[in-house]
């Protein structure tokens, strides 16, 4: 949990530090008289200003946080000690030096984050991090750039403190927070996890003066720059209903009519305007904006698969090898693949955009040879409506069955998969591209951990869990042990938190995926090496890959091949799309 700029949290309680006196010398930070003239600190936070329902600066110290401390003689303002570093170890604050009263009445000034170069308390230079999504440091010293950009100050200087008294340091945010929320469109399209948001042309520097006034003075500098914002939460996170980004910047005036936000999403750049009228930012205050991306129904979340070579098929030791003759394959061009299987919501948007009616045909499809083919079927009219997890036709067009918007589209023919791929500017993957992508760039597909599918276990994917497959030691899972884990239908794409090495979800199970290649359903691969192969065998079938919720683990292996006539449609067949640059 970030220590300063979180939304929807309560303020943390006070934390305490005693320098030169062990923690065991007092009871839980209560009222204690520090011995030998040691200095006792009580360190906390000032409540921040609320600007909208549920939007506060809130604060909690984190292990490794460090503050800088200056102390002055309360009578003559002489500097007694300068930029002493106090570090929080997770339970208490510690100093590398023993700090004593030395018989004087002192006043104290503190700031965060600590800067060893801050030797002149009258002019401590400050600059927020340009990439607040990143980190600085290594190991235990690694800190969020977002946190390290947050200037906080505290004083206990009104009348000076003497030995035996507690120094109360209540920190206040001296910068402002900007938050922007980008509403999601649906799983697999629109705003995505790889999206970035930056503030454009904002003032990024300031100077801090800690030389003896009743409060620190902060002066914003004139220089401007761009600031990459920190991703604070996603729609699937508790408490967030949009992609939420935050940054802290010095107090300044935001002008109206300017393009304050620059949003990068799936290779496209979008500009987002600033406030409707001139806005004076205030310290210790959060300002919240909502900026929606254009409703781009062709904006798929995709991952890049680099060109390369791999061994396609299964070894002779694979008991279910069948027609999967191993051979070496070279793919000479990298490609992008949709991160998830195409969803009901995505496919409905396509059907409605091109005017497909209740017959499921696209009369204006540029593929003249296939334009009269059925692309899709109404899920409530097939199999007596027993599998209502797909698309439904009504007089206003196609729509996903309620609650199944993010499930993979089903009852889609090979023609329907190809039509969508054509419309969106991609194509169906060849089975060589599909298998290469499924393997994740390495034989074991780490960090997925299920390799080529032979180590598939309950909780890893959506498949017929009662019939698992061989585990590393040669043993088999109990076929009935996980019978209650069997879902028995499609699941929303990305429901299982196991992307493969390329970042692809649901390559094993959920729904079979149409590939471009034709096949006769039985002919094995040639053992000869191949380069960019497609349709190496004749036949009227089209290849299906990946298995489904209805099939055993052995059919969900990366090398397993199946197929079907291009006009068939079932409750466990879908597809994904590739894009070759």
Tens-digit pLDDT profile for the chain (581 aa)? 233 332 222 222 233 233 322 221 212 222 222 333 566 778 877 665 434 333 445 567 888 889 999 999 888 888 988 999 998 888 888 887 777 766 778 899 999 999 999 989 999 999 999 999 999 998 878 889 999 999 999 998 877 888 777 888 888 899 999 999 999 888 999 998 889 999 999 999 999 999 867 788 999 999 999 999 999 888 878 777 899 999 999 999 999 988 999 999 988 899 999 999 999 999 988 899 999 998 888 889 999 999 999 999 988 877 777 899 999 999 999 999 999 999 999 999 999 999 999 999 999 999 999 999 999 999 999 999 999 999 999 988 999 999 999 999 999 999 999 999 999 999 999 999 999 999 888 654 333 345 555 667 778 899 987 666 654 444 455 555 556 678 999 999 999 988 888 999 999 999 999 999 999 999 999 999 999 999 766 678 999 999 999 998 888 888 999 999 999 999 999 999 999 99
Does residue 2 sit within a domain? no
Does residue 537 sit within a domain? no
Does residue 208 sit within a domain? yes
Does residue 403 sit within a domain? no
Cα–Cα distance, 496 to 538 (Å, whole number): 36
Domain holding 240, by residue range, is: 177-290
Q: Assess contact for 50 and 56: CB atoms under 8 A.
A: yes
- The predicted pLDDT at position 467 comes to 62
End-of-domain residue from the set 143, 174, 205: 174
Cα–Cα distance, 221 to 199 (Å, whole number): 17
Same domain, 130 and 29: yes
Same domain, 20 and 167: yes
- The predicted pLDDT at position 531 comes to 97
Same domain, 118 and 188: no
Instruction: Give the predicted TM-score (pTM) of the model.
Output: 0.80
Same domain, 241 and 106: no
CATH of the domain at 108: 2.60.40.2620
Does residue 390 sit within a domain? no
Quickly count: other Cβ atoms within 10 Å of residue 81's Cβ: 16
Q: Residue 354, exposed/middle/buried by CB under 10 A (0-12, 13-18, 19+)?
A: middle
Measured at the alpha carbon of residue 517, what is the angle toward residues 512 and 519, in degrees to the nearest 5? 90
Same domain, 44 and 186: no
Same domain, 181 and 167: no
The single-letter DSSP state of residue 508 is: S
- The predicted pLDDT at position 16 comes to 29
Nearest CA among 373, 507, 487, 381 for reference residue 439? 507
Region for 83 from its dihedrals, namely left if φ exceeds 0, alpha if ψ lies in -120 to 50, beta otherwise: left
End-of-domain residue from the set 156, 174, 192: 174
- The predicted pLDDT at position 442 comes to 63
**Is residue 540 helix, strand or coil?**
coil
Cα–Cα distance, 121 to 31 (Å, whole number): 31
Does residue 340 sit within a domain? no
Domain count, the chain: 2
- The predicted pLDDT at position 454 comes to 62
Place of tokens 């683990």: 553
Nearest CA among 533, 570, 182 for reference residue 389? 570
Same domain, 46 and 161: yes
Cα–Cα distance, 289 to 277 (Å, whole number): 13
Cα–Cα distance, 408 to 511 (Å, whole number): 7
Quickly count: other Cβ atoms within 10 Å of residue 546's Cβ: 30
Which H/E stretch holds residue 536?
A: none
Does residue 121 sit within a domain? yes
Does residue 518 sit within a domain? no
CATH of the domain at 265: 2.60.40.2670
Same domain, 202 and 146: no
Cα–Cα distance, 43 to 86 (Å, whole number): 11
Same domain, 132 and 274: no
- The predicted pLDDT at position 477 comes to 54
Structure tokens at 366: 């540029």
Same domain, 140 and 64: yes
End-of-domain residue from the set 155, 174, 193: 174
Measured CA distances, 96 to 88, 93, 203, 318, 560 (Å): 12, 10, 35, 63, 63
Same domain, 170 and 200: no
Tell me the β-bridge partners of 86.
67, 95
Same domain, 202 and 121: no
- The predicted pLDDT at position 379 comes to 97
Q: What is the DSSP string of 121-190?
A: TT-EEEE--SBTTSEESSGGG-EEHHHHT--EEEEEEEEEE-TTSEEEEEEEE-SEEEEEEE---BTTBS
Cα–Cα distance, 372 to 551 (Å, whole number): 31
Structure tokens at 175: 């910068």
């Amino acid at each position: 949990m970030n220590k300063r700029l979180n939304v929807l949290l309560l303020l943390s309680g006070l934390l305490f530090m005693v320098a030169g006196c062990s923690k065991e010398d007092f009871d839980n930070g209560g009222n204690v008289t520090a011995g030998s003239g040691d200095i006792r600190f009580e360190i906390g936070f000032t409540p921040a200003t609320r600007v909208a329902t549920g939007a506060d600066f809130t604060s909690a110290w984190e292990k490794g946080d460090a503050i800088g401390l200056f102390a002055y003689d309360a009578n003559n303002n002489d500097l007694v000690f300068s930029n002493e570093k106090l570090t929080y170890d997770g339970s208490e604050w510690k100093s590398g030096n023993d700090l004593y009263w030395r018989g004087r009445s002192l006043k104290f000034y503190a700031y965060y984050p600590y800067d060893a170069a801050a030797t002149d308390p009258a002019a401590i230079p400050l600059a927020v991090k340009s990439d607040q999504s990143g980190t600085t440091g290594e190991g235990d010293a690694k800190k969020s750039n977002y946190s390290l950009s947050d200037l906080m100050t505290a004083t206990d200087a009104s009348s000076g403190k003497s030995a035996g008294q507690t120094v109360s340091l209540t920190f206040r945010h001296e910068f402002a927070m900007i938050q922007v929320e980008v509403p999601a469109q649906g799983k697999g399209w629109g705003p995505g996890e790889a999206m970035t948001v930056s503030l454009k042309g904002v003032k990024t520097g300031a100077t801090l003066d800690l030389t003896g006034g009743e409060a620190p003075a902060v002066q914003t500098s004139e220089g401007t720059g761009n600031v990459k914002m920190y991703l604070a939460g996603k729609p699937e996170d508790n408490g967030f209903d949009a992609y939420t980004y935050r940054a802290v910047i010095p107090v300044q005036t935001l002008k109206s009519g300017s393009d304050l936000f620059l949003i990068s999403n799936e290779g496209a750049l979008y500009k987002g305007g600033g406030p409707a009228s001139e806005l004076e930012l205030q310290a210790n205050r959060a300002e919240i904006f909502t900026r929606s991306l254009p409703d781009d129904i062709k904006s798929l979340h995709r991952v890049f698969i680099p060109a390369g070579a791999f061994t396609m098929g299964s070894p002779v030791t694979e008991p279910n090898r069948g027609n999967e003759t191993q051979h070496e394959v070279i793919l000479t061009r990298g490609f992008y693949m949709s991160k998830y299987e195409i969803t009901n919501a995505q496919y409905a948007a396509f059907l409605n955009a091109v005017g497909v009616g209740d017959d499921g045909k696209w009369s204006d499809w540029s593929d003249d040879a296939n334009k009269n083919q059925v692309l899709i079927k109404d899920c409530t009219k097939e199999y007596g409506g027993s599998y209502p997890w797909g698309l439904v036709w009504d007089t206003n067009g196609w729509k996903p069955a309620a609650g199944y918007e993010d499930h993979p589209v089903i009852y889609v023919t090979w023609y329907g998969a190809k039509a969508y791929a054509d419309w969106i500017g991609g194509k169906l993957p060849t089975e060589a591209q599909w298998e290469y992508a499924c393997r994740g760039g390495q034989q074991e597909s780490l960090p997925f951990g299920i390799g080529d599918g032979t180590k598939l276990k309950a909780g890893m994917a959506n498949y017929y869990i009662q019939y698992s497959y061989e585990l590393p030691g040669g043993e088999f899972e109990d076929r009935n042990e996980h019978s209650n884990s069997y879902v028995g239908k499609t699941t929303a794409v990305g429901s299982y938190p196991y992307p493969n090495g390329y970042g692809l979800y649901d390559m094993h199970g959920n729904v079979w995926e149409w590939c471009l290649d034709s096949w006769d359903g039985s002919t094995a691969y040639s053992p000869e090496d191949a380069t960019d192969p497609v349709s190496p065998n004749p036949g009227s079938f089209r290849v299906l890959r990946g298995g489904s919720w209805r099939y055993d683990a052995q059919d969900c292996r990366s090398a397993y091949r199946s197929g079907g006539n291009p006009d068939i449609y079932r409750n466990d067949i879908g597809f994904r799309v590739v894009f070759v640059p």
